[in-house]
């Protein structure tokens, strides 16, 4: 068997347990979180390469559906797509990590200020639901989902802020940060306090307390930066 075939079969075997068996065709929205979780949990290893065909077999989905999922992950810089090459999981270097964290800090302090002015009760409830799901995944040791949901909290906050360009910009930074966290740390070491810090931010946003919200977001990003930049 060729090296390509061995690698393809390894991806299929790794992802096979996630395939639904109820006869339902999976959509791109169904597959995206499952594939992202597999990447975050390194069931698809960092810098590994895979194909639309192998993923399609794993999820029982057409190549066109898989292509849409890969395009989304590529836009978020989680995977690298190049013409005539198989998709590859990204592996950011130390300089990229610093640049990403700096960009997030500049963007998210503005986002949280806007969210304090814009947030509606229903939107605050959605943030609390995300935090509850994040905490539940941590307690169940669902590592990839916990990291992904922690990132989705920040993206939801950006959506509430009501500034589309800022939200789009964060959508290219937050998932990549999730990938970096997963590649550098045991999940227990990097997510144990995230939901608690997220909850504090939500409470400040709900009160419309801009100073507290900005301070809590800054402290949250400080903790994240300290963890990521101290990695060996």
Domain count, the chain: 2
| pLDDT at 2 > cutoff 70 | no
| Domain co-membership, 112 together with 48 | no
Q: Is 81 helix (H, G, I), strand (E, B) or coil?
A: coil
Backbone φ and ψ of 49, nearest 5° = -120, 145
**Whole-number pLDDT of residue 78:** 93
Per-residue confidence (pLDDT) for residue 10, from 0 to 100: 44
The pTM score is 0.83
What is the C-alpha separation between 222 and 228, in angstroms, rounded?
10
Q: Which domain holds residue 83?
A: 3-89
- Give the per-residue pLDDT at 232: 57
3-class SS of residue 49: strand
Bridge partners of 79?
A: 89
Torsion of CA 66, 67, 73, 74, to 10 degrees: 160
The predicted pLDDT at position 231 comes to 59
> Are both 153 and 171 inside the same structural domain?
yes
Whether the per-residue pLDDT at 82 is higher than 80: the answer is: yes
Residues 110 and 57 in one domain: no
The highest-confidence range among 46-50, 55-59, 157-161, by mean pLDDT, is 157-161
Domain co-membership, 110 together with 47? no
| Same domain as 165, residue 186 | yes
Mean pLDDT of the chain: 85
Q: Of all helices (H) and strands (E), which one includes residue 144?
A: helix 143-161
Q: Are 121 and 81 contained in the same domain?
A: no
Last residue of a domain, one of 40, 71, 89: 89
Per-residue pLDDT, averaged over 176-187, amounts to 80
CATH code: domain of residue 61? 1.10.10.10
Q: Are residues 121 and 84 in the same domain?
A: no
């Amino acid at each position: 068997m060729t090296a390509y075939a061995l690698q393809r079969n390894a991806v299929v075997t790794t992802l096979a347990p996630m395939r639904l068996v109820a006869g339902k065709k999976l959509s791109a929205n169904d597959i995206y979180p499952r594939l992202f979780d597999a990447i975050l949990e390194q069931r698809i290893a960092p810098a590994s390469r895979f194909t639309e065909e192998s993923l399609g077999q794993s999820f029982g989905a057409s190549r066109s559906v898989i292509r849409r999922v890969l395009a989304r992950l590529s836009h978020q810089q989680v995977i690298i797509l190049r013409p005539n090459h198989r998709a590859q999981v990204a592996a950011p270097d130390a300089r990229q990590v610093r640049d990403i964290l700096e960009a997030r800090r500049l963007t998210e302090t503005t986002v949280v200020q806007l969210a304090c002015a814009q947030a509606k009760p229903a939107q605050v409830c959605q943030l609390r639901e995300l935090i509850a799901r994040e905490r539940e995944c941590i307690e169940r040791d669902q590592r990839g989902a916990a990291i992904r949901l922690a990132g989705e909290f920040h993206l939801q906050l950006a959506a509430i802020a009501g500034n589309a360009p800022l939200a789009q910009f964060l959508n290219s930074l937050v998932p990549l940060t999730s990938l970096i966290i997963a590649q550098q740390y045991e999940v227990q070491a990097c997510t144990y306090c995230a939901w608690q810090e997220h909850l504090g931010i939500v409470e400040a946003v709900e009160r419309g307390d801009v100073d507290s919200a900005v301070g809590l977001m800054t402290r949250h990003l400080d903790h994240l930066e300290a963890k990521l930049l101290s990695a060996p």
